Structure 1
Amino acid sequence: MGERILDVKNLEIDFHTYAGEVKAIRNVSFHLDKGETLAIVGESGSGKSVTTKSLMGLLANNARVKGGEILFHGTDLLKKTEKEMQSVRGKDIAMIFQDPMTSLDPTMKIGMQIAEPLIKHKHMEKKKALAQALEILKLVGIKDAEKRINDYPHQFSGGQRQRIVIAIALVCYPEILIADEPTTALDVTIQAQILDLMKELQAKIETSIIFITHDLGVVAGMADRVAVMYAGQIIEYGTVDEIFYNPQHPYTWGLLNSMPTLDSTKLEAIPGTPPDLLDPPKGDAFAARNPYAMKIDAEKQPPFFKVSETHYAATWLLHPDAPKITPPDEIVRRRKLFAEMQAKKVD
């Protein structure tokens, strides 16, 4: 790929609670190249949102970064003051949140909400900023944009509001766009439109996207690379083809297995629940839910084993001495479905 613009190294984040220290993010490392889309996937509570909020300096008051670096063009964002981060947020790194209604100010016309980042970050005069807001409103596909620029958020549908939130995030042409489950609240048809729109805009303004989701089906059509998170750690990462065609971690198998498909009405849930991060297990965090777990899984955390130059997985099953386990039949069947999705993507 191209130039590396973001490098997260050994990130550790704890949350201070009445019950004790929750070890929410445990030694997380990943990178992002210019113009690519990295998907971070995993169940709720796996640490996806906390990781990306730390990039923006938007962690809760009870969160503490215990270690690591977040290098944006070689500069550690964790060393910046709140005032310095304010000039990064929205201008260099922008975020689309899950629920557009909580991101939009109900008392302000949407044109002004889109123009605000331009006035703040680019010191643009109001008239010029509103003209640019109108352009991006058209770009994100709001019909009759000239009239609607003076409307308030409640006058738009859910899908339109999400388009407006995307317009606000993209108006300064940020280098990195973080999309935190941006289509969760939308129906499937609108969801597909929003995802297509994001890909289209990405090509136009050359932004890099970090896409957070629990839905692997969305990932197939969106991402270049995928990082799978579980219990505050990345446990497998690779290109989108590698994660779908050749998944190595039993948790990734479980996620793929729980994807709904057109020809299968039966959904396989992963049995059990994630571990308590007040006291994380000393071995593989997935061991208690892993039908293929070995004795070593309970005792020692697996390192990353190299599958290819771009594909790594942290599972003892990849150790040369481990028994050879083949993925469940369902995973093999889903590979065919993924191939079909990829074919549509090319069309």
Structure 2
Amino acid sequence: MNKIIEVKNLEISFDTFAGKVQAIRNVSFDLYQGETLAIVGESGSGKSVTTRSIMGLLASNANIENGEILFNGSDIVKKSEKEMQKIRGKDISMIFQDPMTSLDPTMPIGRQVAESLVKHTKISKKEALKQALELLNLVGIPNAEKRLKNYPHQFSGGQRQRIVIAIALICYPQVLIADEPTTALDVTIQAQIIELLKDIQQKMNSSIIFITHDLGVVANVADRVAVMYGGKIVEIGTAREIFYNPQHPYTWGLLGSMPTLESTGKRLYAIPGSPPDLLKPPTGDAFYPRNEYAMKIDTEKEPPFFDVSPTHKAATWLLAPQAPKVIPPEEIQIRWKKFKENAFGE
């Protein structure tokens, strides 16, 4: 498969009144043609900052201190804002979490969907509106032709998210970044949006980066999964490898804390402690203060990636040849089993 995006050794910091926050620390991954890569982790793990750097949408106090972001072989990091404006919305688009903050309340939705097409191509506004109508029908807006002149407040939450998806897709981008697009929606609408994205991806053969903290969503949408913690990727593999053979203790904790149909009335597992302070990143493995299996080396030296399979690797000293054999607690394994049965039907 062709690589659409290659992120290499990316390091991003933010200047704050308290000091320099090391938000992204040596992150590398690839995105292939037609695949969906999910990036998961707790709030503050670096998911959104990583993907916003691909869009060139970092805050003014952000510094890309090292690394490359290659899009079709060209380094985005070195491009000017004017050059990024030609890429953003046309070749790489983003679906944001809250559609009400993404949509202009003063502009009819037909014009909002067509706007990017008018900007990036030479077609007329009339033709752009025609294509906007086709896309609104594709994403499932009822009576789309009659509603082109309606404003965002005249639509439901699920319909607004569909409109945001239409805006992101209007130029048929090669890469679609979905930043927790279903978080603000109820479960039924979530399922509809996920199915919509999968259907559109098949029709357009686009590549998707899907940011979420909901592993239930990941099981239904992702080909590969990258797990982030403390500004780093700590495990990456195919969806089945991450769900069936997780290797990093943090991934164990994420999977163990997922509710299942059988967990009603039961206390959910919670990872002890808090994420690291990235003003002063810890020496060694950033997860060691929360890791009940941490060894002395975890406090002294950052673990490299160990290969589990050709497509699966994890950064944990537990995979070192000399490390003791450790298996996750029975409580977590039971939750995995139930979750996998619900998610994969197995």
Shorter-normalised TM range: over 0.9
Q: Which amino acid aligns with 1:145?
A: A
Whole-angstrom CA distance in 1 between matches of 2:135 and 2:304? 45
Equivalence map 1:240-251=2 (5 Å):
240-251=239-250
What residue number does 1:301 align with?
Answer: 302
Distance 2:4 2:10 in 1: 17
Residue aligning to 1:153: 152
Match of 1:66 in 2: 65
Quote the residue 1:278 is aligned against.
Answer: 279
Classify the secondary structure of the residue corresponding to 2:309: coil
Q: Please report how far the alpha carbon of residue 96 of structure 1 lies from its aligned counterpart in structure 2 after TM superposition.
A: 0.3
Aligned length in residues? 343
TM-score in terms of structure 1 length: 0.97
Which residue pairs with 2:16 in the alignment? 17
Match of 2:321 in 1: 320
What pairs with 1:134-283 in structure 2 (closer than 5 Å)?
134-265=133-264, 266-283=267-284
The CA distance in 1 between the partners of 2:184 and 2:344, in whole Å, is 25
Question: In the aligned structure 1, how far is the partner of 2:158 from the partner of 2:97?
Answer: 12
1:150 to partner: Cα distance: 1.0
For the pair 1:337 / 2:346, whether they are aligned, the reply is: no
Separation (CA, whole Å) in 2 of partners of 1:123 and 1:78 = 28
**AA aligned opposite 1:224:** D
Residue 343 of structure 1: CA displacement?
3.7
* Residues 263-298 of structure 1 deviation map (CA, whole Å, 9 limit, x = unaligned): 113311111101110110111000000011111111
Distance 2:112 2:62 in 1: 29
Separation of aligned partners in 2, 1:123 and 1:286: 51
Once the 2 structures are TM-superposed, how far is the Cα of residue 27 of structure 1 from its aligned partner? Answer: 0.1
In the alignment, is the contact (CA less than 8 A) between 1:284 and 1:302 conserved in 2? yes
The alpha carbon displacement at 1:60 in A equals 0.2
TM-score w.r.t. structure 2 length?
0.98
CA contact (8 A) 2:97 2:182 kept: yes
CA offsets 1:213-236 (integer angstroms, 9 cap, x no match): 011111001000000000000000
Q: Deviations over 1:227-255 (max 9, x none)?
A: 00000000000000000000000000000
> CA–CA distance in 1 between the matches of 2:50 and 2:239?
20
CA displacement, residues 283-323 of structure 1 (integer Å, 9 cap, x when unaligned)? 10000000111111111100001100000000000111111
Shift of 1:168: 0.2
How far is 1:330 from its partner? Answer: 3.5
Alignment of 1:20-35 (within 5 A): 20-35=19-34
Provide structure 1 residue ranges, at least 5 long, that are not aligned to the other structure: none
For 1:330 and 1:85, the matched residues in 2 are separated by 48
Distance 1:101 1:301 in 2: 41
Specify the code of the residue in structure 2 equivalent to 1:167.
Answer: A
- Structure 2 residue ranges without an equivalent (≥5): none
Aligned-pair Cα RMSD in Å:
1.0
- 8 Å CA contact 2:258, 2:339 repeated in 1: no
What secondary structure is seen at the aligned counterpart in 2 of 1:307? strand
Give yes or no for contact 1:242–1:311 (8 Å, CA) kept in 2. yes
Q: Is the CA contact 2:257–2:269 (under 8 Å) kept in the aligned structure 1?
A: yes
Summarize the alignment of residues 109-124 of structure 1 with structure 2, pairs less than 5 Å apart: 109-124=108-123
Q: Conserved in 2, the CA contact under 8 Å of 1:244 and 1:335? A: no
Give the whole-Å Cα distance in 1 for the aligned partners of 2:104 and 2:86: 21
Name 2:84's counterpart in structure 1. Answer: 85
Give the 3 Å change call, closer, same or farther, for CA 143–316 of structure 1 in structure 2.
Answer: same
Deviation track 1:62-113 (CA, whole Å, cap 9, x = no partner) reads: 0000000000111000111100000000000000000000000000000000
